[in-house]
C-alpha cells in the first residue's frame, strides 16, 4: 500500500486532501474485511442453502481486491533494487568489502557491507 500516490501528503494542497486518508484507514479496513468474511462463514454454517451465495460473495470480494491492487498510478521511480543488489554481489565476489547500491529516488544510494548481501550471508 505504501506505493500509492495518495501517500504523498507533502505534495497535496489543502483542497486536494482526499477522503479517506488511506494510511490511517488500512487497519480498520482489514478488520472490517475480516469481520465480513467471518459473517459470511457464520451465515454459511447456519443456513446451508446460503453456501452458494456465500461462495459468490467471497469470489466477488477477491475480484474486487485484485482490481484494487492493480493500478497505474504507481509512485515507483528510480533504479530497480534487485539489479543493484546483483551488481553489488558481483563486486563483493571480486573482493570488495562494502558496496554502494543505487536506491530510489534516483541519484540516491545506500552503502552496504558485503556480509549484508544474501549471496554473501
* Domain residue spans of the chain: 5-69, 81-120
What per-residue confidence (pLDDT) applies to 82? Answer: 72
Residue with cell 443456513: 47
- Among residues 67, 43, 68, which one has the least CA distance to residue 57? 43
Q: Is the per-residue pLDDT at 46 higher than 90?
A: yes
Give the 3-state secondary structure percentages of the chain, helix then strand then coil, rounded to 5.
60, 10, 30
Residue 80: band (very low, low, confident or very high) from pLDDT cuts 50, 70, 90: low
* Segment 14-28 mean pLDDT: 64
Residues 6+ apart with CB under 8 A from 18: 6, 12
Mutual angle of helices 51-69 and 22-46, in 10-degree steps = 160
Residue 13's alpha-carbon distances to 16, 17, 75, 101, in angstroms, are 5, 7, 18, 34
Residue with cell 482526499: 18
Lowest mean pLDDT among 2-11, 47-56, 90-99: 2-11
**pTM of the entire predicted model:** 0.41
Amino acid at each position: 500500500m505504501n506505493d500509492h500516490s495518495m501517500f504523498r501528503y507533502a505534495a497535496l494542497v489543502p483542497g486536494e486532501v482526499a477522503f479517506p486518508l488511506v494510511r490511517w484507514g488500512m487497519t480498520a479496513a482489514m478488520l472490517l474485511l475480516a469481520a465480513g468474511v467471518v459473517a459470511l462463514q457464520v451465515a454459511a454454517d447456519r443456513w446451508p442453502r446460503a453456501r452458494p451465495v456465500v461462495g459468490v460473495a467471497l469470489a466477488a470480494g477477491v475480484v474486487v481486491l485484485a482490481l484494487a491492487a492493480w493500478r497505474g498510478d504507481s509512485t515507483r521511480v528510480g533504479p530497480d533494487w534487485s539489479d543493484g543488489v546483483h551488481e553489488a554481489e558481483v563486486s563483493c565476489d571480486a573482493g570488495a568489502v562494502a558496496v554502494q547500491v543505487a536506491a530510489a529516488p534516483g541519484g540516491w544510494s545506500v552503502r552496504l557491507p558485503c556480509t549484508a548481501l544474501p549471496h554473501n550471508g
